[in-house]
Amino acid sequence: MSLFARLKADCRDDWNAYTRHAFVAGMGEGTLPQAAFRDYLVQDYLFLIQFARAYALSIYKSRGLGEMRHGLEGLKAILDVEMNLHVRLCARWGISPDMLEATPEKGGTVAYTRFVLDAGNAGDLLDLYVALAPCMIGYGEIGKALEPRAGDGNPYGEWIGEYASAGYQQLAAATIAHIDGLAADTMTEARYPRLRRLFASACRLEADFWQMGLDAGGGNRDGDGGE
């Protein structure tokens, strides 16, 4: 079993709590309160700024050009694709990029981003990518799962379409392959418990991030309530 598959299987409850959260279900059903999605987008934009720094750290920690190029592709996806999606969507509410950057980070945003950066600073490249994995790979899984419901006037169809796209699916698959390749070089059974803890913590922080948006929009964990 590959490292990513093993982590996902061993952290199944945390993974499902993240990828099947009420926020995610609400996007798929088109019933997520608009205020919840707007708050999430703004905080996620701030999150991506720090996430980009984590990918820049991965380039610094790389041992060769191949690893550096993989980190660069992730960095470009964040800066040139994901953040542009957030800017486009927020512009519909009159929120400019300057306004986005001026918004204070909420506690959940700070907790998650600093967790990832700390994992990378304290550990090696494998530690960093395991901490990054739930976000980069999980969004691909979520997008693919929600894609059949992205049409028919779903207000969250553009977001779903971005993460269900062939380009993002390829990036997620490349991330899995990269983690498994790093594990083949540096993985030992003695370090696996630490990697499992990193992965599980990142999944829980992802679920908390969804919940932060849901709470701001007046939703709840059952996904009740439309706009």
170 band by pLDDT with thresholds 50, 70 and 90: very high
Residue 186 lies in a domain: yes
Domain limits for position 119: 3-216
pLDDT at site 218:
77
Residue 222 lies in a domain: no
> Number of structural domains, the chain?
1
- What are the pLDDT digits (tens) for 114-153? 999 999 999 999 999 999 999 999 999 999 999 998 888 8
CATH assignment at residue 180: 1.20.910.10
Going by C-alpha positions, the residue among 127, 109, 124 that lies closest to residue 51 is: 109
Which pTM was predicted? Answer: 0.91
Indicate if 135 belongs to the active site.
Answer: yes
Residue 224 lies in a domain: no
pLDDT at site 225:
34
Residue 182 lies in a domain: yes
Arithmetic mean of pLDDT, 77-98: 94
Residue 221 lies in a domain: no
Residue 99 lies in a domain: yes
Phi/psi region, residue 21 (left: phi>0; alpha: psi -120 to 50; beta: rest), is beta
Residue 223 lies in a domain: no
Residue 105 lies in a domain: yes
Q: Choose the catalytic residue: 135, 141, 162, 203.
A: 135
Q: Choose the catalytic residue: 67, 82, 141, 206.
A: 206
